[in-house]
Amino acid sequence: MFKLFRILLVALLLTVVSTLHAQLIPQPTNVQWGQGGYTLTAKTTISCDNASLRPAAAYLAKLLATPTGYAFRQKKGKGSIRLMLTNKGISGSYQLQSDMRGITIKGADYRGVVNGIATLRQLLPVQIESREAVKRVWTVPAVNITDTPKFAWRGMELDCSRHFFTRDEVMELLDVLALYKINKFHWHLTDDQGWRIEIKKYPLLTQYGAWRTYNNQDTVCINRAQKEDNPALMPAAKNVRGDGKYGGFYTQDDIRAIVSYARDRGIDVIPEIDMPGHSLAAIANYKRLSCFEQTGWGKLFTTPLCPGKDHMLDFCKDVWREVFSLFPGEYVHIGGDEVDQKNWKTCPDCQRRIKEQHLKNEHELQAWFLHEMEKFINANGRKMIGWDEIIEGGLSATSTVMWWRNWNPSAPKQAADHGNSVILTPNTEFYLDYDGDAAGMQKIYGYNMRPNGVTEANSHLVLGVQGNLWTEWVPTRERMFFQSFPRMLAVAELGWNGTGKDWDGFNRRVVAHYPRLQQLGVTYRIPPLTGFHRVNVFTDEAQVKVDCQDPSAVIRYTTDGSIPQASSQRYTAPLRVTSTTDFAFRLFGTDGRKDNTVHFRYQKEDYAPAVSADNVNPGLQVVWHEYDGSGCADIEKAPINGTYTVDKVEIPKEVSGNIGLVITGYIDVPEDGIYTFALLSDDGSWLKVDGQMVVDNDGDHSPQEVVGQHAMRKGLHPIELRYFDHNGGQLSLRVSGAGQVSYRH
């Protein structure tokens, strides 16, 4: 009997540790589970074999002390938890061993030790993240882990210029990033909408440049907060000062505290001071930084700095000197993106500079400015990063390229062929301000870390990957976490392991981490509801079946056009519909917070009859209009630039700049059925079939896919698709149903 009991106990322990293994993010390189484990007690001590590890020991002690209620004394010699340096192997790699005698973490360097601490956190129950004492047993299972990161750069960017996040909010984010071994924090500190870093030589930058009256981004957030019943979209009242101006900035003491806080957690902070574009907050407060006295917004971007003025160069260097004193890390980021060079063409100072430096054009003038700044940056012991626009006009030998423009796919190859390092952050996959559905996280997880054209021989120049959070529509801490998580878990996994081979397994681990994120107070985006489209068509009756991967989420709905509230009907089982019905579904978290509302329709239709058409040819007809508007309805009123024929729904390669497309023809369906249309666009689009709106994806927005359905008889059905964009753009249509469709015109 005892032998049988022991076998059952061992089997139970193996089940428990296997479950724990499934919960580790990023997944370790090698794990060997044992039996039993080490239990933390009031007598548990922490030791380190090198004085450089004392900050890590203090960090670990503080992590454990609050939830356990124990005071973890640091001691010389051999503690219960031992932190050790091996000075061998790849930076960030570590070994963690736990048994009934204690826990040992050996790191190749300091960062390796804190990575081991991150794994230790995840091995403990989720309550270890509690901000108050929890009475329970704290056991770390017996395990031997050997773990090595694939990429050195696993980053997140936070834009604090559009909306300001306090010192405590930034530190809170750093705590969560450290849990998932994110080791780079790219801090966007200056832009047109706000200057957030104190520069003592130029006090007006924060006295005036850090504050503004509400702009159009703020009012959009306010209107959305009211319309969507979402307080997380309301600009934070704490960031409004006495005179009603909105904003904020970091003192140099704040900066030092945040940099130190990050360093203890193994995170490098990379400041971005954006130039020569995105500099209106500086130009508006100090004279002679721009080409002309009149400044402001152009059609798309603002007035840039003037590379022809030596005074402007001196200003930039003065700013960077103070930045260097605050950020001791290896890298700084200069921006270099989205520069409107129109003023440079007529500025006598810029034209003189072009002539004196024997430059060909304004692109080379921007490159000259960036090279001058890079020489200064390098002379101060730092390396320069810039967005992939820094390739244009000539790339220096030492700068690092941060690739963000999906519509410039050759950038990684150009940089690597030139011998420059590359950080991958293409906007379609890695811009966290874009709508974050489940498909978006899967694109991150499965992303190919060797872009087209990057050979095996120069693949070492790909430093890693980064998620970027731009905050035009992210005004609060709650919205910041909502946009960033759980997608940052996929960034962490990809950067650590280099490839996503098991999406289903990863997704299960993410679901297991929701309670931990809840414990941390992370207002993550609850996994979106699945099982429906924007428009769902039926011919007789249908069942509304929705699901959510987060088992703790509560689903509520309405059918009267109102936004669901905590008192609305709760969804617990499929709903039968026999007539056209509009639904509003909403998820509610365990903390009481209300997630986004999803609106969709179940539409009853008869099969639309096919039409007859003579002399049809393969493909669709595309008319390109010179359109600078922000809606599909008026595209045909703009002048025509050209007419093209395409085999499928796409942007013709000849089309660029102001894009307004009207695509017409017929869709040929092989048999009667209900067909599903998934229309992806950046910016707006719509699709009409048989004169009926099937997909409405209109308006200014980031890449977004909207899905609708239509019931059709076999044969030809007229379609009209409209699309607009002004900077790059994406457009595609997927059709599924009873068979393979084709296009005619």
Tell me which residues are annotated as active site.
191, 278, 338
Separation CA 184–CA 188 (nearest Å): 13
Separation CA 258–CA 178 (nearest Å): 13
**Ramachandran quadrant class, 416 (left: phi over 0; alpha: psi -120 to 50; beta: rest):** alpha
What are 378's two structure tokens? 């390098």
Separation CA 385–CA 393 (nearest Å): 16
Separation CA 312–CA 586 (nearest Å): 52
C-alpha dist (Å) from residue 80 to 38, 114, 147: 9, 17, 22
C-alpha dist (Å) from residue 565 to 223, 472, 571, 588: 19, 27, 13, 9
Separation CA 173–CA 184 (nearest Å): 12
What are 401's two structure tokens? 């390229």
Strands 581-588 and 554-558: antiparallel
Separation CA 327–CA 377 (nearest Å): 12
Strands 659-669 and 715-725: antiparallel
The CB-side HSE value for 439 (13 A sphere, CA atoms) comes to 10
Nearest Cα to Cα of residue 494 among 24, 23, 21, 25: 25
Separation CA 86–CA 49 (nearest Å): 10
Element (H, E) at 518: helix 503-519
Nearest Cα to Cα of residue 694 among 677, 714, 681, 673: 677
Query: Is residue 586 packed enough to be buried (19+ CB in 10 Å), middle (13-18) or exposed (0-12)?
Result: buried
Question: What radius of gyration do the chain's Cα atoms show?
Answer: 28
Nearest Cα to Cα of residue 286 among 314, 266, 259: 314
Separation CA 102–CA 550 (nearest Å): 35
Separation CA 233–CA 64 (nearest Å): 34
Number of helices and strands (H, E) in the chain? 18, 36
Find the length of the chain: 745
Separation CA 286–CA 289 (nearest Å): 7
What are 1's two structure tokens? 């009997």
Q: Name residue 701's amino acid.
A: H
Q: Who's near 78: CB < 8 A, 6+ residues apart?
A: 47
C-alpha dist (Å) from residue 396 to 375, 390, 453: 10, 9, 20
Separation CA 383–CA 402 (nearest Å): 13
Q: Who's near 487: CB < 8 A, 6+ residues apart?
A: 432, 436, 440, 441, 444, 467
Query: Which string of DSSP letters, residue by residue, matches 59-88?
Result: HHHHHHHHHH----EE-SS--SEEEEE---
Nearest Cα to Cα of residue 433 among 475, 405, 402, 403: 475
What are 449's two structure tokens? 């870390």
**Neighbour count for residue 352 (Cβ, 10 Å):** 11
What residues does 383 pair with on adjacent strands?
331
Measured CA angle at 124 (ends 38, 442), to 5 deg? 140
Nearest Cα to Cα of residue 149 among 107, 186, 105: 107
